[in-house]
Amino acid sequence: MTWILFSFLFLWYMFVPFVLDLANAQRLKVGFYAKTCPQAETIVKKVIVQTLSKSPTLAAPFLRMHFHDCFVRGCDGSVLLNSSTNQNEKNAFPNLSLRGFQIIDIAKSALEKACPGVVSCADILALVATDVVATIKGPSWEVETGRRDGRISNITEALLNLVPPNANISTLKKDFQQSGLNVKDLVVLSGTQTPCNIWAKCKPGDLNTIVEMDPGSFKIFDEDYYTLVAKRRGLFQSDAALLDDTETKAYVKLQATTHGSTFFEDFGVSMVNMGRIGVLTGNVGEIRKQCSRVN
Ligand code: HEM
């Protein structure tokens, strides 16, 4: 009996810390680079603030880049990889309009100079997303870091996982659910996506004409998207589809009628949720030296 008890205690003390360690290793955390590269977040922010002051229209593509990264194989920087055969995510139709890859490379070079081999490209995209939203006076949230980079980027996976703008509500819900996000995340994150609110102004009464804001003029993050969708004036079918579900419709109406009372707070929560999709942590994946190629 004593022998059994002794064996049990021995196994408990041997393996429980190991199991806990594994669980910890799989978690992202705020300030992951605090010891290994304390200046990481400042370096990325500096590059983004400088870039947006010269090219403000890059704000939208940067945020979209993080979304397109996370929805294909998780937030693992796979959207950044180049391929000699053009069979990578970048070449999938929804990604052809992404821009700003060279700026991500500039941020990565600056990080490699300061702390070689420490900060992942997947984390750069998450940090850039928060910097972009903060720069246009949107909400701020505590960004979790600790993602590692993947080694695979596949065009077919991007085509399958990035829903088209003519998607109906069940396709949208299914796509988000498959990525581990809920219906609220869907309606909240959609609040950024039409070029007709945050990123550019629509000519009043003419939603077919998107007028880019003057370079250098100020862009503001607000809830206008919901006001437009509530009036059935969203840009895409997928925007209008948000009125076809009780929960998403209620959210659209609430934000439209209360000047986006909870949008800012909700947005931060959903961005953190999105940033957790399928992440590689611990010893899985790698820290790329260059974001466009595997080591
Ligand atoms: C819910 C499903 C979604 C669909 C069907 C969708 C579809 C689209 C499409 C077709 C565009 C126009 C792209 C172009 O200019 O060629 C767009 C733009 C954009 N989307 Fe989405 N999107 C979705 C969700 C999201 C989410 C979750 C985010 C971010 C968290 C996002 C961020 C953006 C941004 C920022 C733009 C403007 C990009 C630019 O001006 O370059 N979208 N989206």
> Which pLDDT score, from 0 to 100, does residue 131 have?
97
Mean pLDDT score, 150-156:
98
Mutation probe of ligand 1 site: the residue of 193, 194, 245 with most atoms within 8 A of C-beta: 193
> Which pLDDT score, from 0 to 100, does residue 233 have?
80
In a domain, 172, yes or no: yes
Residue 254 structural domain: 37-275
pLDDT-derived band at 192 (thresholds 50, 70, 90) equals confident
In a domain, 3, yes or no: no
Would you say the CB of residue 163 lies under 6 angstroms from ligand 1? yes
Would you say the CB of residue 64 lies under 6 angstroms from ligand 1? yes
Instruction: Examine the pLDDT at 21 and tell me if it is beyond 70.
Output: no
Cα–Cα nearest to 275, from 182, 145, 94: 145
Is 266 annotated in some ligand binding site? no
Percent of the chain with pLDDT over 90: 73
The enclosing domain of 64 has a CATH number of 1.10.520.10
Q: Using CA atoms, how far apart are residues 164 and 29, in angstroms rounded to an integer?
A: 32
Q: Using CA atoms, how far apart are residues 236 and 248, in angstroms rounded to an integer?
A: 16
CA-closest residue to ligand 1 atom 7 = 165
Structure tokens at 294: 């595997």
Instruction: Examine the pLDDT at 139 and tell me if it is beyond 90.
Output: yes
Cα–Cα nearest to 46, from 117, 110, 116, 133: 110
> Which pLDDT score, from 0 to 100, does residue 232 have?
85
In a domain, 99, yes or no: yes
> Which pLDDT score, from 0 to 100, does residue 26 have?
61
Is 149 annotated in some ligand binding site? no
In a domain, 8, yes or no: no
Instruction: Examine the pLDDT at 146 and tell me if it is beyond 80.
Output: yes
In a domain, 17, yes or no: no
In a domain, 293, yes or no: no
Question: Cα angle vertex 169, ends 256, 97, to 5°?
Answer: 85
Structure tokens at 101: 């890859």
Cα–Cα nearest to 181, from 252, 104, 276, 107: 276
For residues 153, 150, 145, 56, the Cα torsion angle rounded to the nearest 10 degrees is: -30
pLDDT top residue among 193 and 224: 224
CA-closest residue to ligand 1 atom 14 = 97
- Between 48-62, 145-159, 162-176, 245-259, the lowest mean confidence (pLDDT) is in 48-62
In a domain, 107, yes or no: yes
The pLDDT tens digits for 213-224 are: 444 334 568 888
Across the chain, mean pLDDT equals: 86
- Into how many domains does the chain fold? 1
Instruction: Examine the pLDDT at 204 and tell me if it is beyond 90.
Output: no
Mean pLDDT score, 49-75:
94
In a domain, 133, yes or no: yes
- Between 107-121, 217-231, 245-259, the lowest mean confidence (pLDDT) is in 217-231
